[in-house]
Amino acid sequence: MSVLLSDEVRQALQSGGPVVALETAVLTKGLPHSTWGDEFGTRPSIVDSDTPINLAAAKAMALAVRTAGGIPAWVAVMNGSLRIGLSEQEIEELAMDETAEKVSLSTIASVLSQKKSAGTTVATTLQACTITKSICNHAIRVFATGGIGGVHRNWTSRLDISADLRALAETPTCVIASGAKSILDISATVEALETLGVPILGLETESFPCFVETKSENDPNIYCVASPDEVAKICHVHWNELGSTSAVLTTCQVPDDVALGRGTLEQVIEQTELFWASSGDVGATRTPALLDALARHTKGKSLVANLALLCNNASHAAEISVAMAN
Ligand code: PSU
Ligand code: MN
């Protein structure tokens, strides 16, 4: 059996409980595996001095979900099984595993067959949200992440579009994210989502968030919703009344106190893109290379903001999940 659902998540799904899926590519490839170093400036309170940053993030996100009344369902590939619902010990094992890559739709089958471990992207986490339906008759309807993958910059010369977009087009789950990073072509990503029939909502925001950065007046306009209840109602109309089968993307701005000024990342992104393009590396390394460069270049400011938005999104996702359960 290569798909395993934890007892806690299974029971919650069967009783209509507020389950929130969480992806793990952010743990294996999106955040540093090291403890907080001086090069990152002041250490935020959710990271203690001897816990690796990726593991501290996982603990804080799970706590944010539970504090808001939800049940976290971490999704990952571990030793050749697709796992939905990990214990604290299993999360620790994955976060410490230096060999764990990230898997998307095109690579998950081969990683499973090689009996390896890997973090799941938005795309493969959405795949898991659907798979639970064949195990216990209920899909997972809410999923929190940092930022979605999308259409990369310079797509006219190199067509690099994340499989996240296809999965969003095909999976009826509400995804809570801080939009997409400025490492992507944001307006092309928003246009693609529209083509794919994915509604984009802004929880208390009318503009598509740009991940760790402050908003700008040029950001694409989106439909502003005031509360988790309103998100739950729109999801109900989208899936149950209209019979749509795409995701509902609900976006949240990064908390104000840690947001980075817009445009401050431009130079390092351009340089890293050039460096990465000349390295001849495979496509899946592009996002991790950019995230790592941003954290170092901003002396930890992008990392602090990333951690804050991950927890904020996890908390809002749990609120939406509770609203759907009621
Ligand atoms: N954005 C982030 N951090 C991340 C990712 C995106 O701020 O770690 C990860 C997510 O898991 C997302 C994936 O699903 O990158 C997209 O990768 P790709 O472009 O290779 O499909
Ligand atoms: Mn890609």
Domains of the chain: 2-321 (3.40.1790.10)
Q: Is the beta carbon of 23 within 6 A of some atom in ligand 1?
A: yes
> pLDDT digit string (tens) for 31-69?
999 999 998 999 999 999 999 999 999 999 999 999 999
The pLDDT value given to residue 78: 98
Residue 177: which of 190, 191, 160 has the closest Cα? 190
The pLDDT value given to residue 282: 72
Q: Is the beta carbon of 121 within 6 A of some atom in ligand 1?
A: yes
> pLDDT digit string (tens) for 87-115?
999 999 999 999 999 999 999 999 999 99
The pLDDT value given to residue 277: 83
Active site residue 23: yes
> From ligand 2's centre to the CA of 307, what distance in Å?
23
Contact 49/35 with Cβ under 8 angstroms? yes
Contact 145/167 with Cβ under 8 angstroms? no
> From ligand 2's centre to the CA of 216, what distance in Å?
26
Active site residue 181: yes
Mutate to test the pocket of ligand 1, among 103, 127, 145 (most ligand atoms within 8 A of CB): 145
> From ligand 2's centre to the CA of 177, what distance in Å?
18
User: Phi then psi for 305, rounded to 5 degrees?
Assistant: -70, -40
Ligand nearest to the Cα of 164, by number: 1
The pLDDT value given to residue 305: 96
The pLDDT value given to residue 275: 85
Q: Is the beta carbon of 284 within 6 A of some atom in ligand 1?
A: yes
Mutate to test the pocket of ligand 1, among 61, 104, 151, 164 (most ligand atoms within 8 A of CB): 164
Beta bridge partners of 202: 224, 251
Ligand nearest to the Cα of 149, by number: 1
Query: Choosing from 29, 102, 181, 215, which is the catalytic residue?
Result: 181
Task: Tell me which residue has tokens 């997409």.
Answer: 180
Q: Is the beta carbon of 32 within 6 A of some atom in ligand 1?
A: no
The pLDDT value given to residue 104: 97
286: amino acid identity, one letter: R
The pLDDT value given to residue 268: 86
**Residues of the chain falling short of pLDDT 50:** none
Closest ligand 1 atom number to CA of residue 150 = 19
DSSP annotation of 324 reads: H
Identify each DSSP E strand in the chain by its residue range: 3-5, 19-22, 71-78, 81-84, 101-103, 118-120, 142-144, 174-177, 200-203, 223-225, 248-251
> From ligand 2's centre to the CA of 26, what distance in Å?
15
Atom 7, ligand 1: which residue's CA is nearest? 147
